[in-house]
């Protein structure tokens, strides 16, 4: 994607959770060292908080979807879309929540460099 979708971007910001499997060094395993280095120089990685990550919340919902919401094999994209929409409607009606502990104040401190227009 760095060479196609975002080839004109000076910096590519990737937001990821703190999973130890996320390593930019794997680019060296799949491409020439010079090319890997060029791409890595353009990437800025922002890690979400270790506890209460919004990515973990999304992962939990996707897990519920795959375990409870979808019928085994799905024949085509339109059927998948319909099943996901039905499931989302059902889940939204149940109003399942998350006990989010990361406050706006904490976010402004932790992620201040991402929003330089914010004045404390």
The model's pLDDT over 46-83, given as tens digits with 9 standing for 90+, comes to 877 666 556 677 777 888 888 887 777 888 889 889 88
Q: Is 115 helix (H, G, I), strand (E, B) or coil?
A: coil
pLDDT of amino acid 55 = 63
The model's pLDDT over 12-26, given as tens digits with 9 standing for 90+, comes to 998 877 666 678 888
Cα maximum dimension of the chain: 53
Specify the DSSP element, H or E, that contains 90. Answer: helix 77-94
pTM above 0.75, yes or no: no
């Amino acid at each position: 994607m760095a060479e196609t979708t975002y080839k004109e971007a000076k910096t590519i910001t990737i937001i990821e959770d703190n999973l130890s499997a996320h390593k930019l060094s794997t680019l060296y395993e799949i491409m020439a060292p010079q090319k890997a280095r060029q791409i890595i120089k353009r990437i800025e990685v922002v890690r979400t908080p270790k506890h209460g990550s919004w990515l973990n919340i999304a992962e939990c919902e996707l897990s519920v979807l795959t375990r409870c919401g979808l019928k085994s094999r799905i024949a085509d994209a339109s059927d998948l879309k319909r099943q996901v929409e039905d499931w989302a409607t059902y889940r939204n009606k149940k109003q399942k929540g998350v006990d989010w502990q990361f406050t706006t104040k904490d976010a402004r401190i932790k992620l201040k460099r991402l929003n330089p227009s914010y004045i404390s």
